């Protein structure tokens, strides 16, 4: 691998963006790649935005993804994906959890958001909350989304499994791996038969 792969992970406080980006960075490092990572999680305990840049390749000089250069955006919340869309590079893929979190003072999302995201990202995986609500506990939904996003990541599945073993909170590695596998299976199925969007 000679080029740098740029992955941007976004969400709001408490959704597990930092752990997901740690697992992704570890998986890349275990694959023998140079990895740089940065994150911002100020105000995260109040539901504020959280984002992390993960860059990996043969040689990576900076941890920050330039605007318009992300190869993949993983979003734990739909509006966050829209907000970070300007960071996407040409042909970028995106993966998001269709579980809106309304900001204080906002009672409903604007109509047509799913269509707009589909227009912006032809390579898109949308994970419906209903499809994982019963099978994936709330605390590991971030890992399910990472599993879904893994269909776009140039890393071996073994490296993710090893990273989960190393970084998952004590006693939760099995649940995190199961969530990862569920998310990946949903993404693979969706890419075979793209879902309709509203």
Domains and CATH numbers, the chain: 5-192 (3.40.920.10)
Where is pLDDT greater, at 109 or 197?
Answer: 109
CA distances to 71, 105, 193 from 23, in Å: 18, 34, 28
For 84-142, strand residue ranges (E) read: 88-98, 123-128
Give the whole-angstrom CA distance, residue 28 versus residue 72: 15
Confidence at residue 196, expressed as pLDDT on a 0 to 100 scale = 54
Where is pLDDT greater, at 105 or 198?
Answer: 105
Confidence at residue 47, expressed as pLDDT on a 0 to 100 scale = 65
What is the pLDDT averaged over residues 33-37?
Answer: 97
Q: Which helix (H) or strand (E) holds 52?
A: strand 49-57
pLDDT > 80? residue 173: yes
Phi and psi angles of residue 127, each rounded to the nearest 5 degrees, phi first = -95, 115
Tokens of 118: 């589909």
Confidence at residue 160, expressed as pLDDT on a 0 to 100 scale = 98
Other residues' Cβ atoms within 10 Å of the Cβ of residue 21: 24
pLDDT > 70? residue 198: no
């Amino acid at each position: 691998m000679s080029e740098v792969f740029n992955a941007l992970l976004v969400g709001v406080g408490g959704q597990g963006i930092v752990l997901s980006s740690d697992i992704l960075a570890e998986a890349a490092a275990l694959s023998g790649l140079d990895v740089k990572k940065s994150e911002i999680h100020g105000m995260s305990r109040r539901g504020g935005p959280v984002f992390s840049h993960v860059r990996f390749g043969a040689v990576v000089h900076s941890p920050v993804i330039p605007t318009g250069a992300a190869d993949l955006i993983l979003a734990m919340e739909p509006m966050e994906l829209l907000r970070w869309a300007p960071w996407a590079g040409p042909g970028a893929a995106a993966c998001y959890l269709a579980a809106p979190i309304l900001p204080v003072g906002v009672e409903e999302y604007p109509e047509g958001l799913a269509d707009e995201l589909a227009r912006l990202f032809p390579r898109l995986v949308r994970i419906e909350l209903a499809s994982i609500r019963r099978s994936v506990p709330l605390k590991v939904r971030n890992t399910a989304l990472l599993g879904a996003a893994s269909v776009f990541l140039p890393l071996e599945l073994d490296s993710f499994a090893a990273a989960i073993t190393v970084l998952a909170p004590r006693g939760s590695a099995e649940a995190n791996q199961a969530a990862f596998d569920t998310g990946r299976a949903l993404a693979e199925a969706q890419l075979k038969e793209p879902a309709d969007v509203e």
